A = this chain, B = another copy of it.
Amino acid sequence: MQRVSYPSFRTVLGEHDVVRVAGANHALGGLLAEEAGFQAVWSSSLEVSASRGVPDASILSMAEYLESAANIQKVLRIPVVADCDTGYGGNLNVAHMVHEFEDAGITAVCIEDKLFPKMNSFVAGGQTLLDTREFASKIVTAKRSQSSDDLFVIARTEALISGLDVDAALERCRVYADSGADAVLVHSKAKSRDQVLGFLERWDFRCPVVIVPTTYPDWHIDDIRAAGVSVVIYANQGLRATVTALRDTYRAVYRHGDSTVVEDSIASVQDVFDLQRLPEWQKLDA
């Protein structure tokens, strides 16, 4: 019984006009995203830090994010895209990050152009950008540090998040692409897709574009594709569904005084066993 195998993110991108990616914070979440049809899994720093009960503010260190991404990748037939925040410091940290994530079998990483320590993008305040040239140097460092040509490095600009305009986002992304980024991620927390659309209309597609439509959830995949986007990340819906499910389930069991009240709406123990691939493992002792 071998490990499952998986294609690199670069390969997956070559096979789809739009790659759909779902956020997860553990292997089980990754398995369910794969089951639903997603082509990749986002090892989200918001999800991982929330699962540990601390803010998404560079509090956990690279070791914890790496472990989470690696553990997800180990059981999947689709690639993980690792949310690597700012690269965890300066150029040396970025080089170390590339070494470690490649060693762990991760084929795509994303770094963003904010100062370390960063604050989650949806938090008001604390959104300070790194100088464009310094971030470009991180991208150059990342690409020079990779052992495999397969490694896919996404450069994420927080220009719009920090209050700058589309011009600034475009300028930064051009520099990042020219520094070797395999794709750019243009993040926005506007209530509509207009900012990102504005970006796309003026982008010359010198490299592919990644989006994260958390605050403009009504953007349909067909329209996303038509707008020229290559990768869309549903970054935190799984986490938020988990919060609701756990909150409701724990409350119901506690209030009702027994667990019959939830039995019909939760997976069976056998479902869990199947996700754990128990029958395959049991054959090893046959």
Question: CB distance B117 to A217 under 8 Å?
Answer: no
- Which chain B positions have C-beta within 8 A of A268? 240
A11: chain B residues within 8 A (beta carbon): none
Most buried by B among A37, A50, A214: A50
Question: Are A277 and B55 closer than 8 Å at their CB atoms?
Answer: yes
Contacts of A38 in B (CB 8 A): 250, 254
Closest Cβ neighbor of A267 among chain B residues: B243
* Residue from the set A36, A63, A217, A242 with the largest chain B CB neighbour count within 10 Å: A242
Instruction: State how many residues of chain A have any CB contact under 8 Å with chain B.
Output: 113
**Copies of this protein chain in the complex:** 4
A149–B269 Cα distance when bound, in Å, is 36
Mark A64-97 against chain B: 1 for CB-CB distance below 8 A, else 0.
Answer: 1000001100110000000000001111110110
Q: Which residues of B contact A146 (CB under 8 A)?
A: 2
Find chain B residues with CB under 8 A from A99 CB. Answer: 2-3, 74
Instruction: Give the residue among A37, A89, A253 with the most B Cβ atoms within 10 A.
Output: A253
Q: Is the CB of A213 within 8 A of B259?
A: yes
A189 to chain B, nearest CB (A): 9
Which of A19-27, A163-171, A195-203 is the interface stretch?
A19-27
A62 at interface (Cβ–Cβ under 8 A)?
yes
Chain B residues contacting A277 (CB-CB under 8 Å) are: 53-55
Q: Is the CB of A51 within 8 A of B28?
A: yes
| A36 contact set on B, CB distance < 8 A | 247, 250-251, 253-254
A145 within 8 A of B: yes
CA distance A262 to B236 in the complex (A): 12
Cβ-defined partner of A89 (8 Å) among B35, B116, B219 = B116
Interface-centre pick from A3, A25, A92, A102 (highest chain B CB count, 10 A): A92
- Give the interface of A toward B (CB within 8 A): 1-3, 5, 20, 22, 25-33, 35-38, 46, 49-59, 61-64, 70-71, 74-75, 88-93, 95-96, 99, 102-105, 116-117, 120, 122-123, 126, 141, 144-147, 213-214, 217-222, 234, 236-251, 253-255, 257-260, 262-263, 265-269, 271-273, 275-278, 281-282, 284-285
Query: Which 8 A/B pairs are nearest by Cβ-Cβ distance?
Result: A61-B61, A245-B245, A27-B53, A63-B63, A36-B250, A53-B75, A243-B267, A240-B266
